[in-house]
Amino acid sequence: MSTEIKSKRITVRDIRQLKGGQPIVVLTAYTAPIARLLDPHVDMLLVGDSLGMVLYGMETTLGVSLDMMIAHGQAVMRGSERACVIIDLPFGSYQESPQQAFRNAARVMAETGAAGVKLEGGSEMAETIEFLTTRGIPVLAHIGLTPQSVHALGGFRAQGRLDEEAAAIRSDARAVAEAGAFAVVVEGTVEPVARAVSQELAVPTIGIGASPACDGQVLVVDDILGLFGTFTPRFVKRYADLADQVEAAARAYADEVRARAFPTAEHCFGAPKRHPQ
């Protein structure tokens, strides 16, 4: 019996090998239909805990549960066939101990079939990253502006402006890479620090608000589609204005229903249809 895994998906090893080469393209995805549309165009789909804010209207990502991440992770896996899918470990599901992190990451891996997990934190998470990676769980690290620590950081503000902040980010980057992370998300970090980190590490950096110096880029899909209007950070570029289109479609539908212009015979079962003579 063959034990070969037959998958057309991009692997974490493929991502790791893109270091210094063609920029790595990453978008978040939370649902099967959106994953299906993004899949041919990206290297990685990140089921980010940003879904708490983007889909559920939460003010921060702190209220997201492991069950939510697993349900959305399963949806994204069903909707995609090519991209490497990575799922965020939510706040409180990994910080307590390496063992807690392993238990919850193992659930994510077993119940979704994703290629790995992402977790936030630098040097303080190195022991946990090593614990997971040496036990077969690929880890995407996340340093710089880490939204799960928004209260400790004093809000969503760019990191690395002060010398001591810059030094801490560089040492965090080294620590998570040495611990075995296959790549590192660098969020909301000033350009010189993101550049230094990208040059220093042997694994790829994936930037969000961290300049083109990174080995790849990630954005929240609803931001690039112009669907998430509450707040648009400076580092986001809108590639579409779907919010306007959704509103226009809802208005047109409401107008037609109120005017009894919808539904017509073609949308009805059993209504007489006009046939060509």
In the complex, the residues that contact ligand KIV under the rule CB under 6 A are 28, 46, 48-50, 88, 142, 185, 187, 208, 218, 220
Q: Is 164 exposed, middle or buried (0-12, 13-18, 19+ CB in 10 A)?
A: exposed
For the chain, the first-to-last Cα distance in angstroms comes to 63
Smallest gap, in angstroms, from Cβ of residue 192 to ligand KIV?
Answer: 21
Beta bridge partners of 121: 142
In this complex, which beta carbon is closest to ligand KIV, that of residue 66 or of residue 208?
A: 208
Shortest spacing between CB 137 and ligand KIV, in angstroms? 18
- Which amino acid makes up residue 104? N
Give the shortest CB-30-to-ligand KIV separation in angstroms.
9
Distance of alpha carbon 87 from alpha carbon 218, whole angstroms:
14
Minimum distance, C-beta of residue 103 to ligand KIV, in the bound complex (Å)? 21
Which CB sits closer to ligand KIV, 70 or 208? Answer: 208
Side-chain-side CA neighbours of residue 134 (13 Å): 10
Find the radius of gyration of the CA atoms of the chain: 21
- Rounded to whole angstroms, what are the CA distances from 139 to 142, 251, 264, 272? 10, 45, 53, 60
CA distances from 90 to 48, 142, 203, 214 (A): 9, 12, 23, 24
With CB atoms as reference, the residue minimizing the distance to ligand KIV is: 48
Closest to ligand KIV by CB, 131 or 228: 228
Active site residue 187: yes
The pair of structure tokens assigned to 229 is 């209007």
Catalytic residue (one of 187, 191, 256, 266):
187
Active site (catalytic) residues: 187
